[in-house]
Structure formats: C-alpha cells, structure tokens
Amino acid sequence: MNKSRLARVIAGMEQMGLEQIVVSAPESIFYLTGKWISPGERMLALYITRDGDAAFYANRLFALNGQIDAPLVEYDDTDDSAKLLASALRPGKIGIDKFWPSQFTIRLMDARSDVRPVLGSQCVDDARMCKDAEELRLMRESSAKNDKATAAAISALRAGMTEADAAAAYLAAAKAEGASGPSFEPLICFGPACAEPHHSTGAENTLRPGDSVIIDVGLAWQSYASDMTRSVFFGEASDEQKRVYDLVCAANAAGRAAVRPGVPLKEFDRAARKVIEDAGYGKYFIHRTGHGIGLQVHEPPDVSSVSETIARPGMVFSIEPGVYLPGRFGVRVEDLVTVTEDGGETLNALPRDFTIVK
C-alpha cells in the first residue's frame, strides 16, 4: 500500500465527511496498491476507513495472497461477495466509486439497511489529480514515446493510404517504443472528416493531395497514458488552411502560456478560446479546451469554460483547441501540460510548425 497516496485519500475523506469508502476502479486500486487487476464481472473492493484501516476484497481466482500489503479477504464464485463486504461496514454513509456496478451497490443496501451509499469517488479523484514525482516521470516518458510514434506516423503518410493504414503505422511505432498498447484507439482523419472532432478512423477514406490530416493519438507506458494531436497537410495547402492552422497553433500556445498554479482552469480555456473567437472562428471551436490525464486518458480535472477547479502543482491536462469547418477541413493542436510551482511545463516536444507532407 502506498502510504503517502493513502494519506491523501483519507484527507479527502475528512473533507467530504466520510468515515468509510469502497474503492473499486482498477486504476484507483493500482494507484494505491501498485497492483493492476481487471475484475470482469467479479467484485473487487478496497475498503478504507478514515482511521487508516484498509482491507482488500477479491476473488480467490486473482491469486493475490502475499501480493497486497493490506488484509486480504478472499471469496469464491459460490460466495455472496457483496454480503461478505457488507458484514464489515460501519453504520451510516459509505462512499462508493461512481462506476461501481449497481449489482454490488444494491446487494450491499439489501444486506445492510443501516448503511447509505453516497458517491465517494471525489476523494480518490482529487488525490490522483496531483501527480507525485514518480507519476510525473512516467508521464514525461509516455509523452516522449508518443512524440516519436506520432512523428513516425506522419512520415508514413502516402497518397491513397487509408486512415486505418495510418493508424496501423502509429500502432506499430508505439509498439516499437515499448508501449503496452494505445491509451485510446487512434483517431486519424483525412480531408473533410477532419471537421468531425470524434471521427471514427476507417478504411474507406483515402489520402489525397490538399487534405488536412489530424492525428490524435496516445500510448500506455508503465500504466500511464499519453495523448497528443498534430495536424498536417498532404501535398499542398490553401491559404485558408494555413491561416486556420496558424490560428489554432496560436490558441494552443496561449492556453499553455496561461497555465500557472492558483488560477481556475476555466481561465486556460478562456485564453485559448479568445484567440479563436477574436479571429471570427469562435463558433467552430465546439469542445472544451482540455481534460485531465494520468492512469486514464480522460480523468479530472476538466479544462472548460465552467471549470472552477484551481490549478495546483502536479496536475496534468491537455490543451487542445481546434477549428472545424463542416464539409471542408479541420485543425486541432494538442499538448499535455503539467502545472509547476511557478507556471506550466509542456510534456510534448514534437514540433508544431506548419507542415505540408510531400
């Protein structure tokens, strides 16, 4: 059990007025124990009390005896796992993970009418938001490897290839960098498809001269995710394509330059969005400026126009403004930034120069 991380979770429990919580998300369990377990349909639960006690509930099939630095309570498939956990709970409120399956929550409530489940994820989410030195080291490494894999994917662009071909080139390069896999399915768009921020990469769209190309990709390294977007143009580019690219790149730079501790994250969104709005393209920037990242590619905090979260050292999030012109083309430029003691550090080093791939 990572004692310093557990202490941060318990501090969050105190702020939320919770005496007990159940942690069940595999990412959060890994964060606290260093052990990654994918439970499938079986119950996995780390029960933590505010006085610092913790017990781990897991199916015997996971073979965790001696691998977890906490009291281990094992059960078989023939046991009622939720009832077993319920017998250890204290009366009153219990915080549970926001994505804990309802089959366990309902059975817990049936077994203990004196226990009231409430959402308890925030105390773990808040602890995970500010990365410690080891996490930051791994995230820098993950981003550096993603830089190299993305550069390889850009170099592989050829006339007539499909988006799926480009995705395969990225995945091969990420594997060569030692990644355990992508942190999300590669999002690669050609031409008019670039106007769809969450276009589904496919085998039908082929690359042609004059196409804009969006490569939004990330990999998993030692369980930590990376995420970056680069936009380039194939063969040739119009004056408007260059103008929009330069605008988005300037918005990205403005958002990253605004990052510093003690400031609401909505101010970083404002800094990036204002550049695009002032140029008359505001209605074509149709999503938030960024999202937190770490053990998951999307996790708190949210970098949007309504985010009141105050930036603190160790937070890592994306700055990814975009302009999407329906039926024509789109541009997005994304980098990961971590908040430092006196500003922000960009984790990606892949150049953002306007690029025409010949």
Predicted confidence at residue 69, as pLDDT, reads: 86
pLDDT at 136: 98
pLDDT exceeds cutoff 90 at 62 = yes
pLDDT greater than 90 at residue 66: no
Cα(282)–Cα(278) distance, rounded to whole angstroms?
7
Instruction: Look at residue 131 and give its three-state secondary structure.
Output: coil
Of the candidates 217, 218, 215, which has an alpha carbon nearest to the alpha carbon of residue 190?
215
Q: Is the pLDDT of residue 139 over 90?
A: yes
Give the model's pLDDT for residue 3: 94
Convert the pLDDT of each residue in 194-235 to its tens digit: 999 889 999 999 999 999 999 999 999 999 999 999 999 999
- Residue type at position 349: A
Average pLDDT of 63-91?
A: 94
Average pLDDT over residues 19-31: 97
pLDDT for residue 183? 98
Task: Encode pLDDT of 176-193 as tens digits.
Answer: 999 999 999 999 999 999
Confidence check: pLDDT of 305 > 90: yes
Q: Are 100 and 39 in contact (CB under 8 A)?
A: no
Q: What is the pLDDT of residue 68?
A: 87
- In the predicted model, what is the mean pLDDT of residues 11-38? 96
pLDDT at 49 over 90: yes
Which phi and psi angles does 108 have, rounded to 5°?
Answer: -65, -45
pLDDT at 198: 85
pLDDT tens digits, 328-343: 999 999 999 999 999 9
Tokens standing for residue 106 = 């309902």
The answer on pLDDT for 248 being more than 90 is: yes
236, pLDDT greater than 90: yes
Q: Give residue 195's pLDDT.
A: 97
Amino acid at 121: S
Would you call 130 helix, strand, or coil by DSSP? Answer: strand
Per-residue model confidence (pLDDT) at position 345? 98
Contacts of 136 by beta carbon, 8 Å cutoff, 6+ apart: 314, 316, 338
Q: Return mean pLDDT, the chain.
A: 97
- Amino acid making up residue 93: K
Q: Give CA separation, 41 vs 58, 62, 140, in Å.
A: 12, 13, 34
What pLDDT is stored for residue 296 in this prediction? Answer: 98
346 pLDDT exceeds 90?
A: yes
- Distance between start and end Cα atoms, the chain: 52
Q: How does pLDDT run across 147-161, given as a tens digit for each residue?
A: 999 999 999 999 999
Query: Looking at residue 61, what is its pLDDT?
Result: 93
- 67 band by pLDDT with thresholds 50, 70 and 90: confident
